Amino acid sequence: MSDATDPYVLAQAAAEALLAALGVTRLTTAIVLGSGWAGGAADLPFEAEAQLADLPGFSKPVVAGHGGSVRLVRTGSGEAAALFNGRTHLYEGRGVAPVVHGVRTSAAAGARRLILTNGCGSVNPALVPGQPVLLRDHLNLTGATPLVGPRFIDMTTPYAQSLRDLAHRVDGTLPEGVYAQFHGPAYETSAEVRMAGILGADLVGMSTGLECIAARELGMDVLGISLVTNLAAGLAPNPLSHAEVMQAGNEAIPRLGSLLRGLLDRL
């Protein structure tokens, strides 16, 4: 593979551009905001902002409600954290490398921890719309992987216990669940939702798992938090709509805001 197309080399170039745009020399933390999370993060004070489309290897997100910027925010101990508003999804058809480019860029910029958030459907009737859920594990049902070649990384504990403990200290009521990543963009059939439940999933979505794999390869500690925005297909009386997803996000804004603030404060 030539340097020009090596995703790790591209991430290094993007990291240099990102650090220059944000005016810092390194990051310690990256946070990716998924569907429904932007409102919760809107009030976090930030010191600088860059447009993703201006950085090597990034393109503008295509979904309404998925922004295209990255902000510099501070942890409680004053460390630099990059807050990515929006992500590239596998269903956009650009391949896996663009899906994990933000993760690799963050790692190349020094980040050792990654907080991945998403909006998702619930397969578990106890997890209702508006509920944030910590990921305990995931099922990668995409048939894809960001890793190429003999990169036999350990995935026994994809989501760091230390970061889950931290999140439980922020909010002692947070449940944990297993997230199944589907390729999308179609939502699941009722049979696929039943399948996911039988396989051990509590949540279904279209992100996060592949990014977690890319982060683990680079030694990052990962925290995954899903916002349940809808009951998975077949569990609700009405068909799924993107409007319902946005509405659940809007109603959860205060809770997601204090969760993000509480996590950052403790880092």
> Residue number with the shortest CB distance to ligand 8IG?
121
Contacts of 130 (CB under 8 A, 6+ apart): 227, 228, 248, 251, 252, 255
C-alpha to C-alpha distance for 2 and 169, rounded to whole angstroms: 46
E runs forming strands in 141-260: 176-181, 203-205, 221-231
Q: Catalytic site residue 188?
A: yes
Is 119 an interacting residue with respect to ligand 8IG (CB under 6 A)? yes
Task: Tell which one of 81, 133, 187, 215 touches ligand 8IG (CB under 6 A).
Answer: 187
Smallest distance from ligand 8IG to CB 188, Å: 6
Smallest distance from ligand 8IG to CB 204, Å: 4
3-state SS assignment for residue 146 = coil
Residues numbered 35 to 74 that lie near ligand 8IG (CB under 6 A) are: 35
- First-to-final CA distance of the chain: 38
Is 120 an interacting residue with respect to ligand 8IG (CB under 6 A)? yes
Smallest distance from ligand 8IG to CB 19, Å: 31
Part in contact with ligand 8IG (CB under 6 A); list of ranges 8-16, 48-56, 170-178, 181-189: 181-189
Provide the phi-psi class of 200: left if phi over 0, else alpha when psi is between -120 and 50, else beta. Answer: left
Which candidate, 85, 95, 31, places its Cα nearest to that of 63?
85
Dihedral angle, C-alpha 134, 137, 143, 146, nearest 10 °: 80
Smallest distance from ligand 8IG to CB 246, Å: 9
Task: Tell which one of 40, 57, 132, 205 touches ligand 8IG (CB under 6 A).
Answer: 205
Is 178 an interacting residue with respect to ligand 8IG (CB under 6 A)? no
Smallest distance from ligand 8IG to CB 36, Å: 7
DSSP lists the bridge partners of residue 51 as 69
Contacts of 234 (CB under 8 A, 6+ apart): 189, 190, 193, 194
Is 179 an interacting residue with respect to ligand 8IG (CB under 6 A)? no
DSSP 76: T
Is 184 an interacting residue with respect to ligand 8IG (CB under 6 A)? yes
Smallest distance from ligand 8IG to CB 72, Å: 27
Say which of 16, 47, 49, 188 is annotated catalytic.
188
Task: Tell which one of 204, 210, 212, 220 touches ligand 8IG (CB under 6 A).
Answer: 204
Number of residues that bind ligand 8IG (CB under 6 A): 16
User: Could you tell me if 82 and 29 are in contact, meaning their C-beta atoms sit under 8 angstroms apart?
Assistant: yes
User: Catalytic residue numbers?
Assistant: 188
Residues of this chain that interact with ligand 8IG (CB under 6 A) are 35, 119-121, 182, 184, 187-188, 204-206, 229-230, 232, 240, 245
